[in-house]
Amino acid sequence: MVNSIYQDCLIADDKALSVKRYLSAVAFNNITRIAFGKRFVNDERKIDPQGVEFKEVIGQGMRLGASLKLSEHIPFLRWLYPLQEEEFAKHGARRDSLTKTIMQEHAIARERSGASKQHFVDALLSLQQQYSLSETTVIGLLWDMITAGMDTTAISAEWAMAELIRNPRVQKKAQEEIDRVIGQDRVVSETDFHDLPYLQCVAKEALRLHPPTPLMLPHKASEDVKIGGYDIPRGTTVHVNVYAIARDPSIWKDPLTFRPERFLEEDIDIKGHDYRLLPFGAGRRVCPGAQLGLNMVELMLARLLHHFSWAPPPGVDPHEIDMTERPGVVTFMAKPLEALATPRLPENLYQNIKFIPE
Ligand code: HEM
């Protein structure tokens, strides 16, 4: 990411960059490496044929998911708005075929070496017999992780960068902390996080104001319950508006102001224990990738802030950055963030950190 941005800055130093393009590539590479131990995009930003197929399957899944119609919930409307059953079936078959190929590659590698590599796919395959996991379940679990982990992290980092550009005071303060702790001779890594409390607060504040799934994921009441005086019958689909809770003026002081310091003043949990702040949900369905997601967002922000200074495109005032949300289950910026990056470290720190295949 850092190297790509640097190269693009060298080509045109006054050209605004589309920030999400870089963040999405990082999220894609990280999730595919964790799930499959594979990086489909090389250092020259070339994607291999399996990666192309992978991206198409993800894109198609998103398009189909977003097109789920009213008729899914109201069956008598199906004659008017038919469900795309055929497209869903075709998509499922294409996704399964790609995943089975990758699973076979892992099985062959395991047979050859006699040892299992510790990627998520290997962990699932090694537990398959013990827990009677069918192939369909393994494929489903893998794709749960891919679809739930990829956009959420890139979107969270994009919103955070938009806030940092709108609030130069916060950007400067975060950079001062990173400079003080890391200096100018090396790059930030995850092990530095405990020395970067302000950076952690920036990530938390961004997730408070811009949870990527503002209504969490739909839940279904498994029994009749009473909540806040309301009767919720068994079987009801329940959405929890964590976006509204995190902006509620009766809970938060100046709720619409981006002020990471609020988390230095009060240590508020973000992973499901404090109901004022639930970007990862809570309870049994809480996001299983919460810590990973937080680490990824913090690392992206740390690297972007350490290596570059960020400003709006020429002629745009920081407060004119369009913060409109695109409605949906996952809340993207309606107008993807464009920003000017200015390198701020010695040249040798912009080289690619080489991927060492395991
Ligand atoms: C900043 C990043 C992330 C945010 C804000 C986020 C948020 C959420 C939320 C709100 C839920 C639903 C919780 C509920 O309904 O109670 C969820 C579920 C889930 N998340 Fe995350 N997530 C993030 C990153 C990740 C990552 C990196 C992974 C894995 C690689 C992941 C995997 C999952 C899975 C597997 C589920 C469960 C889906 C299901 O129940 O069907 N998430 N996430």
- Protein residue with its CA nearest to atom 19 in ligand 1: 287
Which backbone phi and psi does 186 adopt, to 5 degrees? -150, 170
pLDDT in tens, 129-141: 899 999 999 999 9
Q: How far is the CA of 302 from the centre of ligand 1 (A)?
A: 22
Q: Is the pLDDT of residue 103 over 90?
A: no
Q: d(Cα 41, Cα 23) in Å, to the nearest integer?
A: 14
pLDDT value at residue 256: 97
Do residues 57 and 71 lie in contact, with contact meaning Cβ atoms separated by under 8 Å?
A: no
Q: List pocket residues of ligand 1, CB cut-off 6 Å.
A: 31, 144-145, 148-149, 152-153, 156, 212-213, 216-217, 219, 279-281, 285-289, 292-293, 297
pLDDT value at residue 357: 40
Segment 222-232 shows an average pLDDT of: 93
Q: How far is the CA of 30 from the centre of ligand 1 (A)?
A: 15
pLDDT value at residue 355: 42
Say if residue 118 is exposed, middle or buried (CB neighbours under 10 Å; 0-12, 13-18, 19+): exposed
pLDDT in tens, 258-304: 999 999 999 999 999 999 999 999 998 999 999 999 999 999 999 99
Domain ranges of the chain: 2-350
Closest atom of ligand 1 relative to the 297 alpha carbon: 1
Any idea how long the chain is?
A: 358
pTM score of the predicted model = 0.90
Query: With respect to CATH, is domain 2-350 assigned 1.10.630.10?
Result: yes
Q: d(Cα 312, Cα 287) in Å, to the nearest integer?
A: 33
pLDDT value at residue 78: 63
> What DSSP string runs through 52-121?
HHHHHHHHHHHHHHHT--HHHH-GGGTTTS---HHHHHHHHHHHHHHHHHHHHHHHHHHHHHSS---SHH
Do residues 257 and 198 lie in contact, with contact meaning Cβ atoms separated by under 8 Å?
A: no
pLDDT value at residue 356: 40
